Structure 1
Amino acid sequence: MSSAPQGHVVARIGKAHGLRGEVTVETRTDDPERRFRPGVTFGTVARTGSGVPRSLTLATARLHRTIWLLSFDGIPDRTGAEGLRDTLLTVSAADAATGEGADDADDEGWYEEDLVGLEVVTADGDLVGTVTGLELGPQDRLVVAVEGGVVRIPFVEEIVPEIDEDTRRVVVAPPAGLLELVEDE
C-alpha cells in the first residue's frame, strides 16, 4: 500500500465481478446499507503506481447473496475494476461522525484502527496479548498476537465485556479453551 489510511477504512476491494465494472468488497463497517449509497465519495489507499485515483464515487451498490458488489463512476468495465483490487476505501473521521454514508455518531461500534495496539487482559488482569487486527464477517473477531502466534476472539459483549481507551486495554472473558487455539502468524 502507498501509505497509512487517512480516516476510517470501510471496505477492501476484492475481485472484479462481471463485465460492467463491478467489484466485490470485504466490508469493514457494521452498516453497509447506509455506508454504500450511490453518490458517496470514498478516499482510496492503493499500491504505489497502481493508477487508482485518490477518490472513488460510488455509482451502484447491491447485495449478491452475502457479498456486496459496488461500481464506481469512471470505472465502466472489468479491466478497470480489476485494477482496483486490494484498494482500501476510506471516509474521513468527520464524515464518519456526521453520517456521510456512515454509521451513527453515537454508535458503540469500533474501528480497527481504534483497537490495534491495545493490550488484551483477562478479567483477573492476566496478560493475553495485543490486538493486531479486527476481522469483520458473520462473526467479528479480534485478532490478538500471543506467544507463539495469534488467537481469534469473537468480538461479542459476553467475551469482550470492556474496552478502556484511557488505559489502552481490552478485557476478555474467554470460554474455556479459547486462548489455547493459537494459530501461526
Structure 2
Amino acid sequence: MEWYNVGKIVNTHGIRGEVRVISQTDFPEERYTVGQQLGLFKQGEKKPLLLTIASSRSHKNFILLSFEGYPNINDVESFRDGILKVNEKQLEDDKLQDNEFYYHEIVGCTVYDQDGKEIGQVKGIFETAANDVWTVKGIDGKDHYIPVVDEFIKEIDIDAKKIVIEVIEGLLS
C-alpha cells in the first residue's frame, strides 16, 4: 500500500498530548478532521502507527493535533520528527479539479523553460498566504523558488513528470 505525506510533527504542545504539525497538504480541513485516521511514520521504522485524530485546531503556522488513546505529553513525545501520511485509499475520495495535483505528483517532476532547457527538479512545496511555491533544485546546484501562478506555470504533465514554466528576469537568480 502506498502512503503519502500530509504533515510533519515538529514538537509537542502543552501537557495534554497535543503535537505541532507543519501541514504538507492542500486539504488540511479534510486531513486533520476529528475521526480521520493517519499513519505516523517514525524515523527508522517501516510500518506506520495508525492514529485517530481526537482534536484539531490551528495555532500560528501550525496545526495542533491530539490522538485518541494518547492523552498526555509523555504519550506523544516519541512522535516528534515523525511524518504523518494518508494511504492511497484515502486519496480515492478526493475530488480534484482540472489542473489540481497532489504534492506527491509535483515533487520529483523536472522543470523546463519554454525553450526546452532543463532548469531542475521540484524537491518541495511550501504554502504562502498568496499561493504555493515550488522549491526547485537547479541543475546549477542552487535552489530556485517558483510561485505557482498561471503567469509562470505553462504546462504540467504528471505522466511524463514534466513541468514547463515561463522564466522572467530575476526568477532564477
- TM category, shorter: 0.7 to 0.9
Aligned to 1:25: 21
Structure 2: 5+ residue stretches without partners: none
The residue identity in structure 1 corresponding to 2:68 is: D
Q: Tell me, in whole angstroms, the C-alpha distance in 1 between the residues paired with 2:33 and 2:102.
A: 20
Match of 2:147 among 145, 154, 163: 154
Q: Measured at CA, do residues 122 and 16 of structure 1 come closer, stay the same or move farther in structure 2, by a change above 3 Å?
A: same
Pairs aligned (count): 171
Q: Tell me, in whole angstroms, the C-alpha distance in 1 between the residues paired with 2:128 and 2:43.
A: 25
Q: Tell me, in whole angstroms, the C-alpha distance in 1 between the residues paired with 2:41 and 2:170.
A: 38
Written as runs of structure 1 = structure 2, the 5 A alignment for 1:1-185 is: 6-48=2-44, 54-99=49-94, 104-106=95-97, 108-138=99-129, 139-146=131-138, 147-180=140-173
The residue identity in structure 2 corresponding to 1:113 is: H
- Aligned-CA RMSD value: 2.3
Query: Larger % of strand: which?
Result: 2
Q: TM-score, normalised by structure 2?
A: 0.86
The residue identity in structure 2 corresponding to 1:112 is: Y
- SS across alignment from 2:33: coil
Equivalent pair of 1:22/1:70 in contact (CA under 8 Å) = yes
TM-fit CA distance, 1:145: 1.4
Quick one: percent identity of the two aligned structures?
34
- SS across alignment from 2:105: helix
Q: Tell me, in whole angstroms, the C-alpha distance in 1 between the residues paired with 2:31 and 2:8.
A: 14
The residue identity in structure 1 corresponding to 2:102 is: Y
